[in-house]
Copies of this chain bind each other. A is one copy, B any other.
Amino acid sequence: MIVELISVGTEILMGNILNSNTQYLAQKCALLGMDQFYQVTVGDNYGRMTDTIKQALGRSDIVILTGGLGPTEDDLTKEVCAEAMGMQLREDPHTRKQLEEFFVNNIYTEIPENNWKMAMVPEGAIVLDNPNGMAPGLILEKNGKTAILLPGPPGELYPLFEGQVFPYLQKLQKSVLVSSMVKVCGYGESQVEDKLLDLIDGQTNPTIATYAKTAEVHIRVTARAADEAEGEALTAPILKEIKARFGNAVYTADEKVSLEMAVARLLKEKHLTMAAAESCTGGMVAARMVNVSGVSDVFMQGMVTYSNEAKMRLLGVRQETLVAYGAVSRETAAEMAAGGAAAAGTDVCVSVTGIAGPEGGTPEKPVGLVYMACFVKGKTEVRKYQFKGNRAKIREQSMMKALDLVRLCVLEYQDPKE
């Protein structure tokens, strides 16, 4: 089964946006075991889109197109695909109703006429409801060829693909792929590869692939098998071996579990509550924790103390500490964590203070220097990091390392009553 990816949009051609959708879809199609020979980007132009789509349908079995499904005159993907595949467009009452609800919910006072164009659907197409946007996804099947049309914004594309397109494609494949994702913090990608070299070398089934993320590495173990049970029997011993080699650095083997979810679960298990006291991350640790639905059981409060005054007033950091050691120091980080827990009345508090740049660096305290601390019921652990990269990169690494510090400290904590 050959799949071809087409990105539609002049903004990609002009380099205004990075085409990360194609990488996302390519990874998913690789996971499904589909062959991929070409990826094409084409602008919002009727003639060139028609040429591209016809060529793709000629040389591939399945064509996945992203972008160009919106309400504007530039949005041509549906029109071009319908014509290329000889299908008529007609208004779909279900999609029309979805759109009407969207406008009501989003309190549109006037609905531009061109929006109704999104309710037009090629006859016989499978409509994929889009809960995160207006334009639905579409699957067009004709003469043994399939075109899958998906919206461009990642926030709409990813859930649509995971929920509706992936299962559709999976059914077309004869064997199943069983895959697990082991997520590891505290190792770089080459270190992870090094530790797994003997397993990776000569792998055929299952296969092991590593993906570098910010401050974590994901290890995907994939087996191709006749059914789910056979696949799991193939991956189980490899998963066990990986966990043995990385120990506590593994925070999950469940693809859906993020680092913040692992932290929230662990806090719940140990009956601990948490707060965050942030300087250079400025709320990113708290925002990550609040990603977890229902986190209010364990995550009580976040304090963003970017100024020294706020560090003193809100967290009780002593002026002498700030004067003697500076805001970015082991001592301030420790006082922020302990003071944050006291202020919020929680068992645990993590603090982050650092120089995210581009300004504010000195020879003694260069940009990228970050201290973080985790207070757990009277005991405080402090870490020092020297991160590389721009402001955003330094802050993101700090946030991830802080979450992992909470995880490790809570993991170690033993309830004296138990």
A85 nearest CB across to chain B (Å): 21
Complex CA distance for A345 and B305, rounded to whole angstroms? 13
Beyond A14-B30, A283-B284, A293-B356, whether A191 also contacts B36 by CB under 8 A is: no
Please encode chain A, from 77 to 117, with 1 for each CB lying within 8 Å of some chain B CB and 0 for all others. 00000000000000000000000001001111010101100
A316: interface (CB < 8 Å):
no
- Whether B18 pairs with A293 at a CB distance below 8 angstroms is no
Closest B residue by C-beta to A303 = B303
Beyond A26-B14, A307-B301, A310-B301, whether A282 also contacts B290 by CB under 8 A is: yes
- Whether A19 pairs with B22 at a CB distance below 8 angstroms is yes
A224 nearest CB across to chain B (Å): 13
Return chain B residues, CB-CB under 8 Å to A70.
189-190, 212
A17 nearest CB across to chain B (Å): 8
- Whether B299 pairs with A302 at a CB distance below 8 angstroms is no
- Whether B37 pairs with A38 at a CB distance below 8 angstroms is no
One complex includes copies of this chain to the number of 2
- Whether A105 pairs with B359 at a CB distance below 8 angstroms is no
A141: interface (CB < 8 Å):
no
- Whether B39 pairs with A12 at a CB distance below 8 angstroms is yes
A162 nearest CB across to chain B (Å): 11
- Whether B36 pairs with A102 at a CB distance below 8 angstroms is no
Partner-binding segment picked from A164-172, A382-390, A410-418: A382-390
- Whether A11 pairs with B304 at a CB distance below 8 angstroms is no
Please encode chain A, from 1 to 38, with 1 for each CB lying within 8 Å of some chain B CB and 0 for all others. 00000010011111111111011111111100000111
- Whether B71 pairs with A189 at a CB distance below 8 angstroms is yes
Return chain B residues, CB-CB under 8 Å to A307.
296, 300-301
Complex CA distance for A133 and B389, rounded to whole angstroms? 7
Closest B residue by C-beta to A282 = B290
In chain A between 261 and 279, which residues have their CB closer than 8 angstroms to a CB of chain B?
276, 278
Please encode chain A, from 203 to 244, with 1 for each CB lying within 8 Å of some chain B CB and 0 for all others. 000000111101000001000000000000000000000000
Residues of A in contact with B (beta carbons under 8 Å apart): 7, 10-20, 22-30, 36-43, 45, 48, 52, 70-74, 102, 105-108, 110, 112, 114-115, 131-133, 153, 155, 159, 188-191, 193-194, 200, 209-212, 214, 220, 276, 278, 280-287, 289-291, 293-296, 299-307, 309-310, 313-314, 344-345, 356-360, 368, 385-393, 395-396
Nearest first, the 7 closest Cβ-Cβ pairs linking A and B are: A282-B290, A302-B304, A283-B283, A15-B26, A283-B286, A15-B27, A39-B41
